[in-house]
Structure 1
Amino acid sequence: MNILVVLAHPDKNSFNYTIAQTCIKQLIENEHSVIFHDLYRENFDPVLNTPEIPKNGAVDEIIKMHCEDLTKSDGIIIVHPNWWGQPPALLKGWIDRVIRPGIAYEFEEGDGGEGVPIGLLKAKTAVVFNTSNTSMDRENNIFLDPLETLWKNCIFDLCGVKEFYRKMFRIIVTSTTTQRKSWLNEVKTTVSSFFPLSEKFE
């Protein structure tokens, strides 16, 4: 299987970076092909310009490459921190520019204008790993967990990826080395659960 891993965190010493590397290592051990994009290291340009907006809009070679990597992936893993209940701006720009009409989704013709979506992605499964310094109670009851809605409902379900799993690791700022090791073991287990060893797909 081809698995796309997208990381969005500016600090190479961050726990997010370690999560992404753990995912990659486990995927390789499970004999999958990994496509890795570290958006900050790549200096990804998040700005969506007017000519790109239409379904057949002009996109540069970098965006074409990201779109091709997305469409050929059998699974997707996203790793990013929870900043103000949202992904980092760089990742939001990646969503805007890469999860495009005609690439990830389209709308039924003659749908009366309400925009009935048709998911186009080949990927069957998407996994999102987040980090946060907000308690679960506050996240769920005060903020209503906006990242769950964004990734599950607004993005992956709309794009046809029906198997979805998201894990939030918290609270990072007070976490111990032992806790982080336990979390990384959970990452390994999760990756192997959704993308097991030598699973063959036609």
Structure 2
Amino acid sequence: MKNAVIVYYHPYNGSFCHAVLEATKKGLTTAGFAIDVIDLQADQFDSVMSSADLLGFVKHQMIDEQAKQYAQRLQRATELVFIFPIWWELMPAMVKGFIDKVVFPGSTYEYAKTITGMASSLPNLKQTTVITTMNTPKYIYQFVFGNALKKAMISGTLRKTGLKKVKWLSLSGVKSRTQAKRENWLRMIEKRMAVK
């Protein structure tokens, strides 16, 4: 069974991120995936790591019931997709909170004798794709801001916890792009997702 979990965040349903979500869903449906969308805004996810959550982290026991449910949904995923905007060169607080409270020892990874000291506990997961939108031009993001998201999330979280085949699709300079360019992006995303 092919199961795709999409972790999505944007507070405005008229955003380009929302169009990216729809294109992603369309492509994955064509590829025969069952789709499960975790919409952090719609779910009113509490992204704040409390002292109880932190103690749970130390004990490898999740406290937050919503985070537990999200982790269970990730366990069933064969494909994981993140879709969100980049704000001030990193992910929004809601996405960071998801990472803090759901990427959790004993639930999505274990400590192990590996180069990073961690190994994935998501045995069904074959590929992870991160799709982001931002207004910063790509070359400025890369050379001035050092590809901050790549360091923090792609390498520093996903690969570090043992996920394989992690890909990042960065849609940059969105605000200045023509409607035709945006539509090309959406077609490209749908096509990519349809051939999995």
Alignment TM-score, normalising by the size of structure 2 = 0.90
SS state of the match for residue 93, structure 1? helix
**2:149 is aligned with what amino acid?**
L
8 Å contact kept, 1:121–1:160? no
Equivalent pairs, count = 191
8 Å contact kept, 1:119–1:157? no
**How do residues 36-185 of structure 1 correspond to structure 2 at under 5 angstroms?**
36-52=37-53, 53-108=57-112, 116-122=117-123, 123-185=125-187
8 Å contact kept, 1:6–1:38? yes
Aligned equivalents of 2:122 and 2:131: distance in 1? Answer: 20
Deviations 1:73-97 (A, max 9, x none): 1111000111112110011001111
**1:40 is aligned with what amino acid?**
Q
Aligned equivalents of 2:80 and 2:153: distance in 1? Answer: 12
**Structure 1 unaligned residues grouped into runs of 5+:** 196-202
**Structure 2 unaligned residues grouped into runs of 5+:** none
Distance verdict in 2 for CA 1:42–1:133, change over 3 Å: same
Quick check: 52-61 or 68-77, which moved more?
A: 52-61
Distance verdict in 2 for CA 1:115–1:30, change over 3 Å: closer
Alignment TM-score, normalising by the size of structure 1 = 0.88
Aligned equivalents of 1:147 and 1:39: distance in 2? Answer: 19
1:32 aligns with 2:36: no
Residue identity (%): 24
Cα-Cα RMSD: 1.8
Aligned equivalents of 1:119 and 1:158: distance in 2? Answer: 9
Distance verdict in 2 for CA 1:137–1:60, change over 3 Å: closer
